[in-house]
Chains A and B, each alone.
Chain A
C-alpha cells in the first residue's frame, strides 16, 4: 500500500494547515476571539458551522488517497476491491464504506427496493418468455417477506438511534470533564476573567445538530448494509455512495477557489488603493476588462481550451484519476481567476479610505516603508471584508459547479459531483414512472451544504460588517 497525493489533496491539506494557523492567531487576539464568539452565539450560526464542519470532514477523509499494489492484496476481499476499481486508487472514505462501493446492481432500483425498477425478459425452464422484475443482488436480500419493508426499516432504526445517543453522551461527558478540569485548577480566576462564561454559547442547538447529523449518518450507514437506501443509478451504482463522494468535489471547489482568488484580490486591490496613480489605472483596467466578459462564457472558453490541451497531450497524465484531478484543479484555477474582481474592487475602495486616516499619515511621516504600512496598518483592517467575501462566495461556487457541469464545462465526467449526478439523471426524466432518487439525493446534499453556508455567511456579515451594526 502506498500513499498517492493528488494535486487537489495537497492543496486542500495546505488549506487546512492555513486554517489551523488562522485559528491559533485568532485565539491570541482578544478582539477577534470576541467577534467569533458573537458569530457562534447565534444558534443558527452554530448549527450551520457544525454542518459545514461535517461536510469538511467528509471532504478531508476523501482527500487521502492510497493504492494497493497487487502483491499486497492477500485476502480475497481486498483483491476484489482492487479489481473493481480500475487503478486501485482508493481514498480513506472508500475504505470506510466498502460495501457501498462494491455492492453494485445491474441497473436502476428505487430506494429500499428488493427488485429492479423495470422489467426484463426472462426465460424459464420450458423456454417461455416472460417480463419479470428481477430481484436485486444485494438490496433487501435479508428480507423474508414476513413483514413489510417499512416495519423492517423501523426496527433497524433502533440500532443507529441507540448508537448516536451513546456517541452524544460520550461527547457530552468529555465536554463536561474538560470544563471541570479547566475550572478546578484556578476556580476563582476562571470566573473573574470570564465574565461571559463559555456556557453562553448555544450548546443546546449545537448538541441537537450534532445528534441529528450523527444519527442520520449512522442510520444511512447501518441500513446501507441491507438496502440501497437512496437507490441505484443506471449502471447499478449506489446513489448514496455517489452523493457522499460528491461532497469532496463541492467543498473543494468552494474552498480552493478562494485560495486562488485571495492573493490576487489582496495584492492587486491593496496596491491599487495605496499607490494610486498609474498602478491604480492599470489594475482598474485589468479588472474592468475581465469583469466585462460574461463569467460563464469566460469559464467555458477556458475549459474548452483545456480540453483541447488535454486531448492533444494525453501522455502527460498517468491515470484517469490524475487526469480527472488535474481537470478539477484547472477548473478551480479558472473559477479563481474569474472571481477575484469583485473582492479586488471592494478592497481597493476600502484601502483608499484607510490610507487617508491619521494613523497611516503618521506612519508615513515616521518614514515607514509602504510595505510595512500595508502589512501592519492596512491589511488587518481589511480582514473583515475578506472574510465576508469568502463565506459569501462559497455557496455560490458550490451551486456554480452544478450549472457548469450541466453546460458541459464542469468537472471531468468520471469525477463524482452533484452536477454530474443531476446531468445524468436529467436524461431519465422522460421515463415513466420517473427515476427521481438520483436528482433528489444530489439536490438534497447540495441544498444542505449551501443552506448552511448561506446562514453562516449571513451571521458573519451581521457581526463583521460595520454598516450592518445597528
Chain B
C-alpha cells in the first residue's frame, strides 16, 4: 500500500515537469525577462545596463533551456527552466507584481476559498445523490420524465444567470442576505449562504442526471434481479445494494474534485467578493500578473494529480477486488 503510494507520487513527477514545460513555454517565450525587467523598472528611461542588473539581481540572467557557458551537469542545471521549475517544486512562487510573496498570499486565501467550495461540494453531493435515488424509485413514470426535463433545463442555463438572478432576488429585492462581502468566523456565515445555495442549485441538473444514470445502470444488473426475486422491496434493494455498488463510479468522478476544491471558484468568488484563490486568479488575469497565474496553474495541476492518486486509494476501501500493488 505504502509502496504503491510512493510509486504513484514518483509517476507524478514527469507529469509535473511536463506541466512546467508548458507553462514555461507559454510565459517565458512571450513575456521574456527583458519584458519583466521593463515592467518592474517602469517604462521610462530603462537603459540596457539597468535591465541587465535587474536580471542578475533576480536570477533571470541565465539562458532558457541550455547553458553553453557552463560545464558538465551545469549545462542543463544553470538554466532558467530548471531554476524556475525547482523553485516551483519547493512551492516557492516568488513575488507578484505588487511585490507580495505569492506563497503567503495563497496560504492566506485558501481558507475563504474552502469556506465556499467545501460546503457547496458536500451539500451538492448529498442533494444530488438523494434526488437521484428518489427519482430512480419512480423510474419510467411521468414524474421521472418531467424531472429529467427540468434537469436539462437547469443544466442549460448559464451559471452567470443563477448568480445574477440570485443576487437580485435575495439581496436587492428581498434583502435576506448581503449582496457580497466576507468576514472570518461565524459572523461571515450570512455572506456564504447565498453563494453556497446558488452553487448547489446550479449543479443539481447535471448532478442528478449523472447519478441517476449510474443507479439505473446498476439496477439493470443481475444481482438486483436476484434480490428482487428474493422478495426484497425496491427501497431495500436501492439502499442496501445499488447505493453501495454505485459508489465505485461515483468515487471515480468525485474524489478527483476534492483536492481541487482548494482552488476555489473563479466566478463565484469574484461575484460575491470573497477573498479566495478564485478571485485572486481573476484579479491576476485582469492585471496580467503572470507570476500568480503561473503559480495557480502549477498548484492546480499538483492538486489534480493528488486527486487522481486519492481516487485509486479510495477504490480499495469500496471494492475489495482492487488490490494496490
B281 & A297 in contact (Cβ 8 Å cutoff): yes
Q: How far is the CA of A391 from the CA of B263 in the complex (A)?
A: 29
Q: How far is the CA of A434 from the CA of B164 in the complex (A)?
A: 12
Residue-wise, chain A 432-470 has the 8 Å CB interface mask toward B (1 for contact) of 001000010001001100110011001000000001001
Q: How large is the interface on B (under 10, 10 to 19, 20 to 34, 35 or more residues)?
A: 35 or more
- Of chain A, the residue at the smallest CB distance from B305 is A292
- Of chain B, the residue at the smallest CB distance from A439 is B164
Residues of B close to A422: CB separation below 8 A: 158, 160, 164
Binds B, one of A24-32, A140-148, A404-412: A404-412
B30 & A308 in contact (Cβ 8 Å cutoff): yes
Task: Give the distance to chain B from A461, nearest Cβ to Cβ, in Å.
Answer: 10
Interface majority SS on A: helix, strand, loop or mixed? helix
Interface majority SS on B: helix, strand, loop or mixed? helix
- Which residue in A288, A293, A451, A458 is a CB contact (below 8 Å) of B297? A293
Residues of B close to A450: CB separation below 8 A: 156-158
Is the CB of B27 closer than 8 A to any CB of chain A? yes
Within A285-327, the residues touching B (CB, 8 Å) are 285-286, 288-294, 296-298, 300-302, 304-305, 307-309
Residues of A close to B35: CB separation below 8 A: 308
Task: Give the distance to chain B from A422, nearest Cβ to Cβ, in Å.
Answer: 6
- Of chain A, the residue at the smallest CB distance from B301 is A292
- Which residue in A304, A403, A451 is a CB contact (below 8 Å) of B285? A304
Given contacts A297-B296, A447-B157, whether A409 and B285 have CB atoms under 8 Å apart is yes
Is the CB of A335 closer than 8 A to any CB of chain B? no
Q: How large is the interface on A (under 10, 10 to 19, 20 to 34, 35 or more residues)?
A: 35 or more
Residue-wise, chain B 136-177 has the 8 Å CB interface mask toward A (1 for contact) of 000000000000000011011111110010011000100000
Given contacts A292-B15, A292-B304, whether A305 and B26 have CB atoms under 8 Å apart is yes
Residues of B close to A301: CB separation below 8 A: 23, 26-27, 293-294, 297
Given contacts A296-B266, A304-B290, A451-B152, whether A407 and B282 have CB atoms under 8 Å apart is yes
Q: How far is the CA of A304 from the CA of B14 in the complex (A)?
A: 26
A285 & B15 in contact (Cβ 8 Å cutoff): yes
Residue from B23, B158, B159 having most chain A Cβ neighbours under 10 A: B158
Task: Give the distance to chain A from B194, nearest Cβ to Cβ, in Å.
Answer: 14
Task: Give the distance to chain B from A458, nearest Cβ to Cβ, in Å.
Answer: 7
Is the CB of A399 closer than 8 A to any CB of chain B? yes
Is the CB of B288 closer than 8 A to any CB of chain A? yes
Residue from B35, B160, B285 having most chain A Cβ neighbours under 10 A: B160
Q: How far is the CA of A408 from the CA of B156 in the complex (A)?
A: 22
Is the CB of A395 closer than 8 A to any CB of chain B? yes
Residues of A close to B247: CB separation below 8 A: none
Residues of B close to A290: CB separation below 8 A: 22
Q: How far is the CA of A90 from the CA of B248 in the complex (A)?
A: 55
Is the CB of A402 closer than 8 A to any CB of chain B? yes
Given contacts A294-B300, A294-B304, A297-B297, whether A395 and B156 have CB atoms under 8 Å apart is yes
Is the CB of A85 closer than 8 A to any CB of chain B? no
Residues of B close to A353: CB separation below 8 A: none
Residue-wise, chain B 289-318 has the 8 Å CB interface mask toward A (1 for contact) of 010011011001100110010000000000
Is the CB of A23 closer than 8 A to any CB of chain B? no
Residues of A close to B160: CB separation below 8 A: 402-403, 406, 422, 443
B26 & A470 in contact (Cβ 8 Å cutoff): no
- Which residue in B15, B217, B286, B297 is a CB contact (below 8 Å) of A298? B297
A300 & B168 in contact (Cβ 8 Å cutoff): no
Q: How far is the CA of A301 from the CA of B30 in the complex (A)?
A: 11
Q: How far is the CA of A302 from the CA of B25 in the complex (A)?
A: 10
Q: Give 19 A-B contacts (CB < 8 Å), ordered by A residue.
A: A285-B14, A293-B297, A294-B260, A294-B263, A297-B296, A300-B281, A304-B293, A305-B27, A305-B31, A309-B30, A403-B266, A406-B160, A407-B282, A408-B286, A429-B172, A439-B161, A443-B161, A451-B152, A467-B217
Which residues of A come within 8 Å of B, CB atoms?
285-286, 288-294, 296-298, 300-302, 304-305, 307-309, 395, 399, 402-403, 406-409, 422, 426, 429, 434, 439, 443, 446-447, 450-451, 454-455, 458, 467, 470
